[in-house]
Amino acid sequence: MLFKNALICTIDAEAQTVEPFSGHLLINNGRIERIFSSQETDLSPDETVWDLQGRVLTVPNVNFHEHIYSRLAKGLPTNGPMDNFVHILQTLWWKLDRFLDLDMVQASAELAILEAIRHGVTYLFDHHASPAPGAVKGSLQRIAGTLQKAGLRGVLAFEVSDRNGPEIARESIAENADFAAGQTSEMKAMMGLHAPFTLSDATLRRVAEIVRSLKLGIHIHVAEDRADVEQTRKEHDMGIAQRLQSFNLLNEHSLLIHGVHLGDEDYRIIREHGAALAYNPDSNLNNAVGLPHYAAVPEEIPILAGTDGMHANVLRSLKQLFLLYRHQGNSFDKAFAWLHKIFFDQIRFVQHYFPDFPLLHQDDRADFIVWDYVPPTPFTGKNFWGHYIYGMMEAPIYSVVQHGELLLHKRNFTSLDEKALQKNITRQGKRLFERFKAE
């Protein structure tokens, strides 16, 4: 396949720059075979040719904190208080996850792949919970199978927690370990942990053994609400990062989610161990848990963006982060520098798991997306970030190519049977709705 007339945004990871240029991209056998400049006219005539007419082509988007299991939550009839963070968990999320069976998990994954592809997301770090008896074992495989059939890459984890009793906690640890034992080049594993305030020391000790023996990163919510910080202080007499460190759970493959109420001592420990923070601004606003003071986070801590299951549009999360950073009184220069830092932190982090994540050079894996955006002004390495924030982030995704396969083109699915998937999604969504109604 030949993609003609694109603004190809090649990445120079060393120099930390994005270098757009006008040209054509030839893919073959899942790789970028050649990149031609726009002056080149000797293009192989027998290729399938797609004329992108000056649209922008970049690396795919990565969602660093997703909850595929939340996909069927829209419009559910909740019945209970929603006036604070813990009540939101009790009234919605901790009911929903216990109502899920494996068929609903699969339908959630089916909806998640449709939404992800529409937003140019082909790499997903998922934090899964389906803690009902019978719905733990094999749940990650169900999700992995669905992602893989769609051509997406995933890093999956099951949220271990003590909130559903010791038996489910043990099963959840085993589910993480089983999945980790079968990792492939397309599907990777992390040790999923719900949040410090629902994890006992005994459980963390068992988790620590697996993390050490299988060399896993952890994927955990931390300090999302003050309740998490206060409970850790009260019951363990320490800060959250200190508690995780005491079980040797922090490393450079680890993802700490939210971190709204972390303090300087937490940052010091996180930095020392090289773990990353993933921010989910829409979710923080929706749950009214507050926002991190972003500029107080040490530069050395990698910052990533996720959606926390609120939606699949991780670029909207990035845009929110930029706007909130401005709102917190930082200059445009500082805000652009922060976005630039996050962009390259994200590439480094995803390459921990997928070393062949492409930078859009010849011979790279052919994973890329095309934005339905034709820049109205010149497009260079220097003003890329202005186009990125104010142009591309507001534009729909035009095409998605993953490992050389066209998944979306002209905003339509080209590899998935959307209608058939939708049928199963609504069938399972109705079952979940009925469970909420009956409760």
CA–CA dist 70, 52 (Å, integer): 35
Q: Give the residue from 236, 147, 156 showing the smallest Cα distance to 199.
A: 236
In 3-state terms, what secondary structure has residue 222?
strand
The distance of closest approach from Cβ of residue 360 to Zn ion in the complex, given in angstroms and rounded to an integer, is 30
CB 192 within 8 A of CB 159: yes
Q: Which is nearer to Zn ion, 187 or 222 (CB)?
A: 222
Minimum CB distance to Zn ion smaller for 37 or for 286: 286
The least distance separating Zn ion from the CB of residue 327, rounded to whole angstroms, comes to: 23
- Output 175 or 308, the one with its CB closest to Zn ion: 308
Minimum separation from the CB atom of position 258 to Zn ion (A): 7
Question: Looking at beta carbons only, is 66 or 171 nearer to Zn ion?
Answer: 66
Residue 339 Cβ, how far from Zn ion at the closest point, in Å?
Answer: 22
Supply 195's token pair: 């949040």
Comparison of 143 and 408: residue with beta carbon closer to Zn ion: 143
Nearer to Zn ion, 52 or 62 (CB): 62
Which long-range contacts (C-beta less than 8 Å, at least 24 apart) are formed by 387-390?
387/56, 388/339, 389/319, 389/322, 389/339
Name the minimum Å distance from CB 155 to Zn ion.
14
Tokens of 316: 């909207």
DSSP string for residues in 359-392: -S-TTSB--EEEES---SS---TTTHHHHHHHTG
Q: Which residue's CB atom is positioned nearest to Zn ion?
A: 308
Contacts of residue 327, defined as CB under 8 A and 6 or more positions apart, other chains included, come to none
The first and second tokens of residue 287, run together, are 């749950």
Query: Nearest approach, Cβ of 70 to Zn ion (angstroms)?
Result: 9
For Zn ion, the closer of residues 228 and 308 by Cβ is: 308
Instruction: Rank residues 308 and 364 by Cβ distance to Zn ion and give the closer one.
Output: 308
In whole angstroms, give the CA distance from residue 30 to residue 404.
4
Q: How far apart are CA 245 and CA 370, in angstroms?
A: 41
- The residues with which 62 forms a beta bridge, in sequence order, are 123
Q: Which is nearer to Zn ion, 171 or 308 (CB)?
A: 308
* Contact status, residue 320 vs residue 294, Cβ threshold 8 Å: no
Beta strands in 13-78 (DSSP E): 17-28, 31-37, 49-58, 61-66
Nearest approach, Cβ of residue 147 and Zn ion (Å):
18
Least separation in angstroms between residue 172's CB and Zn ion is: 16
Phi-psi category of residue 17: left, alpha or beta, with phi > 0 → left and psi -120 to 50 → alpha: beta
Contacts of 168 (CB under 8 A, 6+ apart): 131, 133, 136, 161
Binding site for Zn ion (CB under 5 A): 308
Pairing of strands 397-402, 368-371: antiparallel
Q: How many residues in total does the chain contain?
A: 439
In the complex, the smallest distance separating the C-beta of residue 222 from Zn ion, rounded to whole angstroms, is 11
Write down the least CB distance from residue 308 to Zn ion, Å: 4
Closer CB to Zn ion, 110 or 308, in the complex: 308
